[in-house]
Structure 1
């Protein structure tokens, strides 16, 4: 802990000293060290030093003495003490005026005062204050550690810190959301906090970041709270002056450590709860819950009501191989949190979990399934703005009464999602009822003879595509989807009518099927569907 100039003058060794400047408010300036110096000053004086000097060589020249004082002030010294004697018989008024103009306390010392004794007195007092500071720091550290061991919350931590600092204290997360505070907050505080966070982020971008940020323009002090390299939030203290005492700085550093431990404890508890919730929802989906009674009891502990009607939504998250983002737990958790928030806004219950890059969501169904589907659509609209490179494909299971619906709806949703990606491409939301035919074909496709069947019709088209670079399979798919309407097919494929007719003629030649013949057209479409369904088995 530093001394003040006033405390130095109160030392016994300085009882014969005289303060020559009149600005007594400057006597509160901190003295952290003492040095003895003569001219030149240059870089030999550090901030907060009390400078002792005889002014040898310049003591008889008022102009040089005034310049000497200004140079000492520029070095941000705490005060200047001149020994009155042979080298400086008296302090001229011009030097006193110079000290007044640069806000530098000027002290006159009798020639008999030994600099060694003065330095010793200051250093002994500084060591004593430093010892007291270390003791106080240790006490504060122990107090915060005891709070954490006792399971103190962030609210309790802010109360204790506010009592130590005698100031308002609040804690915010990394986005500026207020988590705890100790007194009614000013109306503009939220705006000031956001502005402070922007300034701190700018400092971090310029690699000027430090744990404690004094922001005098908006009257806030911010202290980083982080666990390892992960930023958790900030301690924020509104203040009216632009400096901190050493004790205040130590208190804030210890409080930051304690807050980090609070965040870490909460994070561990949240992750444990999330794992329990994930396990429960996965057990519902996979049918590993022994009974309805067991599910009801366990669900109640987690805040779930499994006796309501739910539809399962199975999502597959995909990111381009050249994308900068990876499918991480953080990304998947955020997607699920957005879905849960959309459900909450519509007053619908949601149960979620994830496995690797797949999402499992059970959404409550009340009046209609369309409302439930709208929850996912709105969530996807919001997420498309945040993660434009991310594609999410969804399958929707049916809703039916009975506890067994959880597993059945999950299986249907999973199958619908996989079929949707293979048949319609990624990024679609496909209800199970719309791919019932493909689910039947999927069962048929597992028969070894099914491959020979589709190879008979589709392999010639694939070989032609590879040789000529013409999308024959896609052409056939769109033509059949438009029920043989040539004009509509040409419009969808952006082809001239004659170009399409030529392609259709080539398809007939390659497959030995006449598209005008209903039976042959059915055989060809069955082969196409069996081919398209192959991608599901690979997922």
Structure 2
């Protein structure tokens, strides 16, 4: 509690002093000599010395002086009697008693300088003791974290040294540790009780720097306090405490709470580092699994089990290409690297969360990682119902993601299930190939199953033949040059024309063109390629060449 009036009165310099009212264990933080007028020269918990000069013969002035000292919330008032005041009047003593205030008479022969010296020495000694105690608590808190102990141990240390109920929550206000903190307040703050509460910044009740950062929860007629736990300017959690009265929040208690903030921040940083290390280990493991052909042996199965994965189950691979609408992309591109990095981590966090949630709903294991704008998911699925499972899974993921991340679209490629000789790398390659083909043929946000890409894969295999490559180049060379030079899109015009089985009216409507404009484009296509769109063989050659050329573009 620090130095009290009782402690001061035990000093030898006060052996001949006379206490006129009852002594209380009131703190003494300073001592000064103050004569009238008091004004704002007296601080809270200050021990005041006075000769009563100017008031000795004026009882009303003396009464006003004592009243002003009491109102300033001083700890005590000691009059030097024998010259200006020979005896404190009964009326003044009664005033002090009525206000539960300590009033003292000191013989005139006792020098104020001696009193000041002794009291300052006592306060300094107590401050040194408090600082040593606070430093010992600081070391105990830091060692608690460094030795691998948790937040509950931190609250125990705090309660043992402050006797104030303490709780620690994370940044989501979920209580992580509690030491005799009122459960009612916790339930209200977590929304488990339908009580209204208000968070306010109280007026500073101490000159300790920490007091300016304390926030106050007001719930009906009761209140508790909180301090924010920060690390690198990032909010990690909250320290909640509920003193019975504000007087408990002394300088030394606030210093201990300040040290507790440092210990809590260190704990959360350590916890985050462990979590990030686990995430990196999982990411690296899954990326190796996807991108390299690894034999599934006992060693790999054991390593996977340590990371929480069961590789003996049957999985399909889903590769998603993550994109935002152009306006959002432009906004992100205009920001600095740190903002883009933060945005990416936040995006990945939400995707990971929804993938896990969808897996839990379907009671399917999932394994997820990210790589250069792609999300790679291994989803537990059997060979018979894998397509239905994949669609149900993606429906769940995308429905919730669209609510959380406005403007996001993910195009998916989905592999086939493997019954025997299964390799995760092969499954990834299938999903990746399906994604590439799907992005070339469809709009953003579509899903392409590898099993539905047989024709495209056949064409892709043909496109690598040198002679076929030459035929495609010869057929489309002038058409491609014309489109590049004139900024036209005759190839797209042909694709739509072919899609509608050479129906001019339907094609014109689909392209939003006048019929004559479309016919003009079709004549240009025939002139540039030397092929007739009315000849079945020529039409087939042109269609095959366009498809092979577009597949080649996807591969590049």
Note if 1:537 corresponds to 2:542.
Answer: no
- Choose which of 241, 244, 269 in structure 2 pairs with 1:237: 241
- Choose which of 130, 148, 151 in structure 2 pairs with 1:151: 148
Give the match for residue 186 of structure 1. 183
Worse overlay, 58-67 or 517-526: 58-67
Matched residues in 1 for 2:211 and 2:430: separation? 53
Runs of at least 5 residues in structure 1 that lack an aligned partner in the other structure: 201-207
Give the match for residue 413 of structure 2. 395
Shift of 1:458: 7.4
Note if 1:313 corresponds to 2:318.
Answer: yes
Residues 1:75 and 1:185: Cα distance change in structure 2 (over 3 Å): closer
1:38 alignment partner, SS class:
coil
Matched residues in 2 for 1:216 and 1:4: separation? 31
Matched residues in 2 for 1:414 and 1:150: separation? 46
**Aligned alpha-carbon RMSD (Å):** 4.0
Residues 1:340 and 1:91: Cα distance change in structure 2 (over 3 Å): same
Give the match for residue 50 of structure 2. 53
Note if 1:450 corresponds to 2:469.
Answer: yes
Residues 1:34 and 1:183: Cα distance change in structure 2 (over 3 Å): closer
Residues 1:68 and 1:438: Cα distance change in structure 2 (over 3 Å): farther
Residues 1:460 and 1:125: Cα distance change in structure 2 (over 3 Å): same
Give the match for residue 226 of structure 2. 222
Shift of 1:66: 5.6
Give the match for residue 33 of structure 1. 30
Matched residues in 1 for 2:404 and 2:518: separation? 40
8 Å contact kept, 2:167–2:181: no
Superposition map of 1:132-171 within 5 A: 132-171=129-168
1:306 alignment partner, SS class:
coil
Matched residues in 1 for 2:101 and 2:524: separation? 98
Give the match for residue 246 of structure 1. 251
Note if 1:428 corresponds to 2:446.
Answer: yes
Runs of at least 5 residues in structure 2 that lack an aligned partner in the other structure: 202-208
Give the match for residue 362 of structure 1. 378
Q: Deviations over 1:218-266 (max 9, x none)?
A: 4223233333433322232344433512333233233333333332332
8 Å contact kept, 2:210–2:254: no
Residues 1:490 and 1:46: Cα distance change in structure 2 (over 3 Å): farther
8 Å contact kept, 1:332–1:357: no
Matched residues in 2 for 1:41 and 1:494: separation? 90
Superposition map of 1:321-340 within 5 A: 321-323=330-332, 326-327=340-341, 328-340=344-356
Q: Give the TM-score normalised by structure 1.
A: 0.81
Worse overlay, 491-500 or 132-141: 491-500
1:191 alignment partner, SS class:
helix
Shift of 1:485: 5.1
1:341 alignment partner, SS class:
helix
Residues 1:260 and 1:56: Cα distance change in structure 2 (over 3 Å): same
Give the match for residue 455 of structure 2. 437
Q: Deviations over 1:340-397 (max 9, x none)?
A: 2321232111112222332221111144432233323322332333332444332211
Matched residues in 1 for 2:136 and 2:265: separation? 19
Matched residues in 2 for 1:407 and 1:125: separation? 76
8 Å contact kept, 1:420–1:426: no
Residues 1:489 and 1:141: Cα distance change in structure 2 (over 3 Å): same
Superposition map of 1:34-183 within 5 A: 34-39=31-36, 41=38, 44-57=41-54, 60-61=57-58, 64-65=61-62, 68=65, 77-84=74-81, 86-88=83-85, 107-182=104-179
8 Å contact kept, 2:301–2:311: yes
8 Å contact kept, 1:55–1:65: yes
Residues 1:216 and 1:401: Cα distance change in structure 2 (over 3 Å): closer
Residues 1:239 and 1:134: Cα distance change in structure 2 (over 3 Å): closer
Residues 1:436 and 1:216: Cα distance change in structure 2 (over 3 Å): same
Shift of 1:305: 1.2
8 Å contact kept, 1:453–1:527: yes
8 Å contact kept, 2:479–2:491: no
Q: Give the TM-score normalised by structure 2.
A: 0.79
Worse overlay, 392-401 or 510-519: 510-519
- Choose which of 377, 385, 407 in structure 1 pairs with 2:403: 385
Superposition map of 1:237-276 within 5 A: 237-243=241-247, 244-276=249-281
Matched residues in 2 for 1:81 and 1:362: separation? 81
Matched residues in 2 for 1:466 and 1:59: separation? 108
Q: Deviations over 1:276-332 (max 9, x none)?
A: 222222222123433333332222222211111111111233451332552534542
- Choose which of 366, 369, 372 in structure 2 pairs with 1:353: 369
Note if 1:520 corresponds to 2:538.
Answer: yes
Residues 1:296 and 1:117: Cα distance change in structure 2 (over 3 Å): same
8 Å contact kept, 1:292–1:403: no
1:30 alignment partner, SS class:
coil
How many pairs does the alignment contain? 527
Q: Deviations over 1:107-164 (max 9, x none)?
A: 5544344222222222122122112212222332332334334321233333443444
Matched residues in 1 for 2:539 and 2:60: separation? 110
Matched residues in 2 for 1:43 and 1:184: separation? 38
Give the match for residue 205 of structure 2. none
8 Å contact kept, 1:226–1:232: yes
Worse overlay, 142-151 or 341-350: 142-151
